[in-house]
Amino acid sequence: MAADAGEFADPPAGVLAEAAAAFGLLSSPARLHIVWALAQGESDVTGLAERVGGALPAVSQHLTKLKLAGLVRSRREGRRQVYFVGDPDVVAVVRAMVGQLSTRAEEPRTLARRRGFGA
């Protein structure tokens, strides 16, 4: 049964292009990890590099791209730049997707444990 077209009107082409660009940026595991980390709390580039296991220059470049796309914001605290996700909707999308996939990944292990297989 098809949904009523009035319920789900097509968004303007510009909105679709912007969403595709944002998803394109988040298609990089490194950038997705950075956004995931920032969804847990703000951090400077050094803390992010340590958390995501990336080289400082690479994490800095990823942050620049995320910031230009409006997915990440920053503020200056003394000599350091502190990054955070400024849009709660971005956090919700990332948490929903990663959380759902994490749950799916756990299901086979949980089922195997219940049946007496695996640790």
The pTM of this model reads 0.77
The answer for residues whose C-beta is within 8 angstroms of residue 74's C-beta and 6 or more apart is: 63, 67, 81, 82, 83, 84
Query: Which of the two residues, 79 and 8, has the higher pLDDT score?
Result: 79
- Residues of the chain above pLDDT 70, percent: 85
The pLDDT tens digits for 73-91 are 999 999 999 999 988 898 8
Position 1 pLDDT exceeds 50:
no
Separation of alpha carbons 57 and 116, rounded Å: 46
pLDDT digits over 30-69, tens only? Answer: 999 999 999 999 999 999 999 999 999 999 999 999 999 8
Q: Is 60 helix (H, G, I), strand (E, B) or coil?
A: helix
Greater confidence (3 vs 67) lies with: 67
Q: Which residue has the higher pLDDT, 72 or 7?
A: 72
Which domains occur in the chain, in start order? 13-87 (1.10.10.10)
70: left (phi over 0), alpha (psi -120 to 50) or beta: left
Mean pLDDT of the chain: 87
**3-class secondary-structure state, position 72:** coil
pLDDT of amino acid 106: 79
- For 21: left if phi > 0, alpha if psi spans -120 to 50, otherwise beta; the answer is alpha
